[in-house]
Amino acid sequence: MYDMLIGPFVEFEFMRRALVGAVALSLGGAPIGVFLMLRRMSLMGDAMAHAILPGAAVGFLVFGLQLIPMTVGGIVAGLAVVFAAGVVARFTALKEDASLAAFYLISLALGVIIVSMRGSNVDLMHVLFGTVLALDDPTLLLLAGITTVTLIALAVLWRPLVLDCVDPGFLRSVSRAGAPAHMVFLGLVVLNLVAGFHALGTLLAVGLMMLPAIAARFWGRDVTALCGIAILFGVVSGYAGLVLSYNMATPSGPSIVLMAGLVYAVSLVFGPRGGLVPTYWPARHREA
């Protein structure tokens, strides 16, 4: 049991780095996922994860697999798509979700083409699915920095963000902080997706952000509890996914997201806040 669950992290440095990266992504991304879920913007996270690909691909095209150019490119592309989708939604009859869907599909196709112009299939797989087992010191520092910025920003903007989820009309009537807080929040979404991109790739970056947050909905009620539970689920998913990847020789990134999916499935069935068994089994028992 030791060799299966603990030994890999004691023996191999790359496993420890991967675990630290997964913890950092969970600390910053899971609370963001909770707010996306509460705002009914869960699919927006997936759209924005694809939206960062062209910028990261341009950084790759010019500088290769270098951390800073791909990070800056991803941030610029993500913010540009958010801004463009907002402009389209404001000045046309198209809703914001539809405009985001259009932009993210275009971004995904464009990003894949740009990477293919210079890179090999290995590079394309790296961009799409990440390399969580190859995180180096600069990348870990970047993940830690983004997590730190995210937690500080959430602490400062906690009240307007929560009010915007619960009663946006009341927030608008008592404060003008709603719009600035929303813009900062969208920036945090982009930052955390860029962090996830470096570890899990553009296709899976949103997995460790949204799945723990959605699973937490079945275990908690207030926002603080939801964020804490989501972080715990993210850390557990990262650890379990790495253990699965090491022992079963499966791809590490998909294994982490698969474990997060398993946590969601268990929560869906057994979660005390709306899970299938607590909701329907007692009713059948009373009927009998």
**Does residue 149 contact residue 30 with C-beta atoms inside 8 Å?**
no
Helices and strands per DSSP (H, E), number in the chain: 15, 0
Q: How far apart are CA 129 and CA 203, in angstroms?
A: 6
User: 103-146: per-residue pLDDT in tens?
Assistant: 888 888 888 898 888 767 777 788 888 889 989 999 999 999 99
Q: How far apart are CA 194 and CA 205, in angstroms?
A: 8
Q: DSSP character for 272?
A: T
pLDDT at 13 over 90: yes
Q: What is the mean pLDDT of the chain?
A: 88
**Does residue 204 contact residue 149 with C-beta atoms inside 8 Å?**
no
**Does residue 134 contact residue 201 with C-beta atoms inside 8 Å?**
no
167 or 212, higher pLDDT = 212
State both tokens at 18: 């991967």
Type of residue numbered 244: L
How many Cα atoms within 13 Å fall on the side-chain side of residue 39? 23
% of the chain at pLDDT higher than 70: 97
Which residues, other chains included, contact 108 with Cβ-Cβ below 8 Å and sequence gap of 6+?
Answer: 50, 53, 202
Provide the pLDDT for residue 89: 76
Q: What is the residue extent of each domain of the chain? A: 2-287
Q: By C-alpha distance, which of 85, 73, 21 is closest to 48?
A: 85
Q: How far apart are the first and last CA of the chain?
A: 43
Q: How far apart are CA 112 and CA 222, in angstroms?
A: 40
CATH tag, 2-287: 1.10.3470.10
State both tokens at 87: 């402009």
pLDDT at 236 over 70: yes
Crossing angle, helix 137-166 and helix 13-38, to 10 degrees? 20
% of the chain at pLDDT higher than 90: 52
